[in-house]
Structure 1
Amino acid sequence: MSNFRGIWVALVTPFRDGAVDYPALRTLVAHLLEQGVTGLVVCGTTGEAAALSHDEQLEVLDAVLQWVPPQQVIMGLAGNNQRELLACLEDIQRRPVAGVLVPAPYYIRPSQAGLEAFFRTVADAASVPVVLYDIPYRTGVRIERETLRRIVRHPNIHAIKDCAGDLETTLALIADGQVQVLTGEDLQIFTNLCLGGAGAISASAHVRADLYMQLYQQMEEGDVISARRTFHRLLPWMQAAFAEPNPAAVKGALALQGLVANELREPMQACTPTTLERLRGVLAELAD
């Protein structure tokens, strides 16, 4: 099984005047690598992949792969047209990546049998590890616990980004040991690690990624008290990071740090001045 343990950052896509801002992307990637993150997830939800064309997504991936070792890069792969999705998978697999992050087909709400067949088809076609992305509040369909447990037995599915909000399912997946369980809910990072999970794919870890890695390392060393202290230090920022639809607040915070422009692609909107002021105060406290 591939090892996805650690803290992966769900990477934003910087924009300037409507286009991908590659100089800012390179600066941001270098900053996160310096902070010691396990790896980066490119063109996921936080990366506004739905607002990028297929060609743009591949261009962003190619840029990141110039600066980051392939084993530290997971590529998002989402869609509800299965033939197009498999063609996209072929394009991605021409590049060296650690894996692909795949949610259920959104909007069409397939049956449990349809979900099982979909993930089996994708995993069969994958020559790189698949990280299943379970996020029913975005896809519109819940993968039932027993369906999910069957799906992840596929040998090409190595990890899950767990955003379903069902503790019993999380516990069952960890206990089964078929896949590494990474939380995608940032407020659950400490809980995930305490329960024996593998870490996180985190949007908020763009800011003070060193502390997120410190939290992970403290848990690896069994120092739960210190890890809890680190988590509570990060908690106000984690809460502020999702004050508006993701990635508005994250980009706002990065803009305050001078790393990216405070720009999203419509219909997403940049965070409000009120949220920016809140972020300014939270970041000042986190820097102390």
Structure 2
Amino acid sequence: MPSYATPTRPLFSGLWIALVTPFKDGAVDHPALTALTVRLRGQGVAGFVACGSTGEAAALDKAEQLQVLETVLEAAGDSPVVMGVSGCHQGQVLDQVQALARYPLAGLLVSAPHYIRPSQEGLLHWFCAIADASTVPVVLYDIPYRTGAMLTTETLLALAAHPRIQAIKDCGGSTAKTQALIADGRLQVLTGEDAQIFHTLALGGAGAISASAQWQTPRFVELMDLLRGGDLPGARRAWQALQPWIEACFAEPNPAPLKAMLAHAGEVRNELRAPMMAASPALVERLRAL
């Protein structure tokens, strides 16, 4: 099992990769997932997220999710791994959290319950119950356009008081909320919107959980190093060079464009699970041109 060295900066900082889940003839392609994780591990990333939205976790059954996690943990070596946790049945989610306790995880990435749209009080209860049950830190996943639940700044600041809630994947769509969380300082703020990486880090955010950084990874690492070192002119040049790729990577629903590019590079098959569809031929040509 991996062992983690004491980090020189907060654990939930730097460039984290939201891994795709490769498929081959309908099944998870574990050799491809291993090779992808090993390649990224050698390119300076801070850690990995398994079974997030980029990993098509909603299309994996619970046994497949655990198999994906085991493959990523083995391939990640000493790099920390966070596991995605989602659902709308609190009892079943708590069972999932307890089942994950036997794995050497760095944390759990937890989203609001989808479809239900609870009150802020209900959201506080949801996240605190999961954090209470967890043996590892919790990273809040604020992504209202997927869950239908908007976490207010006040709710997030209240959740920051929980000792096990230590970071946030910020897809909340509010610059004011992002700035408030960074200013408060209790949560490590990692943007989950790749188009906001430069902005969030320039404001003082801790890093990013990125899908598009699975390609051109060293350039994303360089961008973060430049920002961390205060070289804004160099960071702007690096960021501008990445813009066409990031824009193309989200021109159609994630992870279809990313899988098309990784397939073009021979790393995975260009295969998704329905109802997700492969990238359109026009976008594939655009990606290849990059």
Using structure 2 for the length normalisation, give the TM-score. Answer: 0.95
Aligned amino acid, residue 171 of structure 1 = Q
Equivalent residues in 2 for 1:172-187, closer than 5 Å: 172-187=180-195
CA distance in structure 1 between the partners assigned to 2:124 and 2:99 by the alignment = 23
Query: Partner residue of 1:286?
Result: none
CA distance in structure 1 between the partners assigned to 2:86 and 2:243 by the alignment = 30
1:34 equivalent in alignment to 2:49: no
How far 1:52 moved relative to its partner? 0.2
Equivalent residues in 2 for 1:99-248, closer than 5 Å: 99-248=107-256
How far 1:69 moved relative to its partner? 3.2
Query: In the TM superposition, what whole-angstrom CA distance separates every residue of 1:117-176 from its partner, at most 9, and x where no partner exists?
Result: 111111111110000000000001101111111112211011000001101000000000
CA distance in structure 2 between the partners assigned to 1:123 and 1:98 by the alignment = 14
User: Is the 2:43–2:217 contact (alpha carbons within 8 Å) kept by the matching residues of 1?
Assistant: yes
1:278 equivalent in alignment to 2:286: yes
User: Is the 1:161–1:184 contact (alpha carbons within 8 Å) kept by the matching residues of 2?
Assistant: yes
Using structure 1 for the length normalisation, give the TM-score. Answer: 0.96
CA distance in structure 1 between the partners assigned to 2:236 and 2:100 by the alignment = 38
CA distance in structure 2 between the partners assigned to 1:178 and 1:71 by the alignment = 23
1:52 equivalent in alignment to 2:60: yes
Aligned length: 282
Aligned amino acid, residue 213 of structure 2 = A
Aligned amino acid, residue 108 of structure 2 = V
**RMSD over aligned Cα atoms:** 1.1
CA distance in structure 1 between the partners assigned to 2:245 and 2:228 by the alignment = 23
Distance change in 2, residues 1:2/1:225 (3 Å): closer
Distance change in 2, residues 1:70/1:119 (3 Å): farther
Aligned amino acid, residue 88 of structure 2 = N
How far 1:70 moved relative to its partner? 5.7
177-186 or 217-226, which deviates more: 217-226
144-153 or 7-16, which deviates more: 144-153
| Partner SS for 1:65 | helix
CA distance in structure 1 between the partners assigned to 2:143 and 2:116 by the alignment = 14
Aligned amino acid, residue 3 of structure 1 = L
CA distance in structure 2 between the partners assigned to 1:143 and 1:70 by the alignment = 33
Aligned amino acid, residue 14 of structure 1 = P
CA distance in structure 1 between the partners assigned to 2:24 and 2:79 by the alignment = 29
CA distance in structure 2 between the partners assigned to 1:128 and 1:257 by the alignment = 36
How far 1:72 moved relative to its partner? 1.5
Query: Partner residue of 1:9?
Result: 17
| Partner SS for 1:37 | coil
Query: In the TM superposition, what whole-angstrom CA distance separates every residue of 1:59-92 from its partner, at most 9, and x where no partner exists?
Result: 0101111121365201000011111101111111
CA distance in structure 1 between the partners assigned to 2:204 and 2:152 by the alignment = 22
CA distance in structure 1 between the partners assigned to 2:245 and 2:62 by the alignment = 32
CA distance in structure 1 between the partners assigned to 2:29 and 2:11 by the alignment = 31
Equivalent residues in 2 for 1:66-77, closer than 5 Å: 66-69=74-77, 71-77=79-85
How far 1:93 moved relative to its partner? 1.5
| Partner SS for 1:100 | strand
CA distance in structure 1 between the partners assigned to 2:174 and 2:82 by the alignment = 25
Aligned amino acid, residue 55 of structure 1 = A
User: Is the 1:130–1:158 contact (alpha carbons within 8 Å) kept by the matching residues of 2?
Assistant: yes
CA distance in structure 2 between the partners assigned to 1:22 and 1:154 by the alignment = 36
User: Is the 1:112–1:144 contact (alpha carbons within 8 Å) kept by the matching residues of 2?
Assistant: yes
Query: Partner residue of 2:71?
Result: 63
Aligned amino acid, residue 48 of structure 2 = L
Query: Partner residue of 1:285?
Result: none
Unaligned runs of 5+ in 2: 1-8
